[in-house]
Structure formats: C-alpha cells, structure tokens
Amino acid sequence: MQQNGVYLDYAASTPIDERVLEAMLPYFTTEFGNPSSIHRWGQRAETAVEDARESIAAIMDCAPEEIVFTSCGSESDNLAVRGLAMYAKNTRGARHILISPVEHDAVSKTAHNLAERFGFDLEFLPVDEDGRVSPNDLAIRIRDDTALVSIIYANNEIGTINPIAELADICRRREIPFHTDAVQAASQLDITVNHLNIDLLSLGAHKFYGPKGVGALYIRSGNTIWAQQTGGSQEFSLRAGTQNVPLIVGMARALEITQSESDEHNKKYSRLRDHLLGALPEIIPDTQISGHLSSRLPNHASFLFKGIDGNQLLGVLDAAGFGCSSGSACKTGDPAPSKVLEAIGLPAIWALGSLRVTVGRPTREADIQRLVQILPEAVERLRKISA
Ligand SMILES: Cc1ncc(COP(=O)(O)O)c(C=O)c1O
C-alpha cells in the first residue's frame, strides 16, 4: 500500500512530477521577474513564458500565439464559452448555444448564466446511455445563429470519450466555432488540434502531474473571443494579469512529459482499469459500469451499485485507506444524483450509488487487487444499513 493509503482519484488531481517541480523552482526564487518588465529580469521571465507557450504549441500542433495562459481549466472554459458567445452576439446577432448535458459545471453553468442573464437560447444535445453525443444530432440542431458549440472531450464522471473530430468537423463545415473541454483528456489522449479540427480547447495542468492554479486555452487563429478579464495587455489582451511564470513553466514541462510517456502509462492504466471493469460487476450483485466500455479514458473505471449512498461508500473506502470519488471532485458531499448520471437515463436508486476509480502513475496491480477484495463486503454492509 502507498504511504498514507492508496490514492485512486487521479481524475480529481495528480501529484506534481519531480521533473516538473525542478523546472519550476528557479521561477519562485532567483528568476522572479515580471514578464512585462523591460529589464533583464523581466526578459528572462518573458523568455520562460514564451518557451512554455512554444513547447505547448508544438505538442498541440498549433502556433504559439494560439495559446492563452489562464489560472485553471474552469477559467479556460469560462473564457471560451463566454468569450465566444459575447463576441458572436454582438457581431452577428447569434443567440444560440449548443452544449451536451454531460458537460463539466465550468461549461454548463457558464452557458446557463449566459442564457439567464444575457438572453441566449441554450440547447442541450441528446446523449446515448454511455454519455456520447452523436454527430448526426449535432448536424440536425446546429443553426446559422449558433454562437458556439461546446462538447466535452472525455467525461470526468463516467470516462466516456466523445467523437470529437467528427463533431468538430460538422461545426467547421457550418463555420460555427467548436470548443472542447479537454481537461481530463490531455493526460491520456491526442490533443493535436489540427487532427481534431478543434477551434478552442481547454487544459488544466493539475490533471497531468503539473501544478494547480494554471491552465491554458487554445484559440485557433481566425476565431475572435472577447476577453473576460481586462487590464494589462498580457496574453494578447485576452487575459489581463501578470503571468504566473513558475506555474506556466511547470505546465509546459508537465505536458511534455505526459504526452511523451502517454503510450507507456496508458498501457498500464488500461490494464488496471480493465481488471476493475471486469471484476466488480462479476463479484458484486446489482452492479453496472457507467460510461462506454471501450471508448473511455484509459485510467478511468466507474460503477453504479444499486441501492447504496455513494458518498457513504467513499467514507468506508477512506477508512480502509482508499481515496476514490463518487463522480467529479465537486460532487463529493452532495447527496443529489449527478446530472451526468441523470442525463444517461439512470434512476436515483442507481445514480446515487456511483463510484469512480481513476488510476495514476504510482498505482500498482496490488492496489487494485486489494480494492477488488474489500469492495464486495463494503457494498453489502451499506446495502444492509439502507435496507
Ligand atoms: C472535465 C473538466 N473540466 C473542467 C474542470 C475544472 O478544472 P480546474 O480544476 O482546473 O478548474 C475539471 C476538473 O475536475 C474537469 O474534470
């Protein structure tokens, strides 16, 4: 067992890779300059930010000027959705926003806010029982006055991967901007934006062994968004504020490492994931897998245990030394069924009993074997309590 128990919540956050920390450290101490300053301290800080931008752009197959640094994945989603919507409304009178019902709150609450306060017409695309959006449905519902389409790349709660390139292609042919939240995807999937036809893409570093408090938004040149934070002209005047140099350096290093090692890690992750997906429905009665069986994040296993309270299960698992989740980190402690599970058609008796297990670099086969050993009794005990 790992020191202090077994952490199996890598979709919530990951530890900083030692190599990332090493790259960041000088920028907290000796290299503390403001990237906007003219002098040599400022120039060195600016070089660090621009090198980080170039490195991320090379990985994503885009131009450095198409990357805007933000403070987190949520900010990137807000900037994309609000920035696109406000620009489209004011320049071409577009009022329609199309998203899926399985978006992270950073997208869905932003879209709701635009509908409630600014009169946008918010429409949700249907999803199938695995939480996937069909390109046909998008093709039918997209309109000339659609301001933007935003569809999550890989779902944080149920791990399902959307057919992002096909969805994006439909938007491209209609000349409607397409944004994807790739906050979960970036640690394991392809994020080359030309291959995927994407116009805007959100990242958050703490999901790929980088620091918390930094994210990025890719904006394909030719797309205009309105800044949501105004002030200085940093980040091409799209996001005012002195850049957080150490965190930006860390994010770039973390993405380089993650993407270059992803084949190796993904192989291990999917083996551990498949062990869980295969074993638990076999040994625990009334158990379902949530999300798609094969089109899912390599490190993501999620389940529904009929008739239990998923949050209680998390408490029992924590007492046994396991850190898991019932959905997204934001859901923990919230007794309402998750809207993602509702959207895929699950009644509360199933949806309330959700468990998400996400493996990471330190996870070992023995950790998974132990979890598989203790879960049947934990679920049975909770079922007896709630019976
Ligand atoms: C899919 C998705 N989008 C956005 C976010 C928000 O990212 P951040 O924590 O960097 O704000 C998360 C975090 O869990 C996520 O999983």
328 lines ligand 1 (CB under 6 A): yes
Label residue 4 by pLDDT band (50, 70, 90). Answer: confident
pLDDT at position 386: 79
Label residue 313 by pLDDT band (50, 70, 90). Answer: very high
CATH 3.90.1150.10 domain range(s) in the chain: 6-14+262-386
pLDDT at position 356: 98
N-term to C-term CA, the chain: 33
Tokens read off for 25: 């450290």
Which residue in the block uniquely carries the two structure tokens 């205009």? 224
CA 1 to ligand 1 centroid distance, Å: 28
Label residue 3 by pLDDT band (50, 70, 90). Answer: low
Task: Give 36-94 pLDDT, tens digit per residue.
Answer: 999 999 999 999 999 999 999 999 999 999 999 999 999 999 999 999 999 999 999 99
User: Which are the contacts of 69, defined by CB distance < 8 A and separation ≥ 6?
Assistant: 49, 52, 53, 214, 215, 216, 235, 239, 243, 244, 248, 251
269: pLDDT strictly greater than 80: yes
Closest ligand 1 atom to residue 103 Cα is 1
pLDDT at position 210: 98
184 lines ligand 1 (CB under 6 A): yes
Task: Give 199-236 pLDDT, tens digit per residue.
Answer: 999 999 999 999 999 999 999 999 999 999 999 999 99
Answer left, alpha or beta for residue 209, where phi above 0 means left and psi between -120 and 50 means alpha: left
CATH 3.40.640.10 domain range(s) in the chain: 18-260
pLDDT at position 260: 96
CA 78 to ligand 1 centroid distance, Å: 11
169: pLDDT strictly greater than 90: yes
102 lines ligand 1 (CB under 6 A): no
CA 238 to ligand 1 centroid distance, Å: 20
Label residue 327 by pLDDT band (50, 70, 90). Answer: low
2: pLDDT strictly greater than 90: no
Superfamily holding 6-14+262-386: Aspartate Aminotransferase, domain 1 (3.90.1150.10)
210 lines ligand 1 (CB under 6 A): no
The three state secondary structure string of 164-199 is HHHHHHHHHHHCCCEEEECCCHHHCCCCCHHHHCCC
pTM of the model: 0.97
Label residue 336 by pLDDT band (50, 70, 90). Answer: confident
φ, ψ at 246 (rounded to 5°): -60, -40
Task: Give 125-163 pLDDT, tens digit per residue.
Answer: 999 999 999 999 999 999 999 999 999 999 999 999 999
CA 125 to ligand 1 centroid distance, Å: 21
204 lines ligand 1 (CB under 6 A): yes
Fill in the amino acid letter for 93: G
Domain 18-260 has CATH 3.20.20.70: no
Averaged pLDDT of the chain: 96
206-226 in b/e form (b: 16+ CB < 10 A) is bbbbbbbbbbbbbbbeebebb
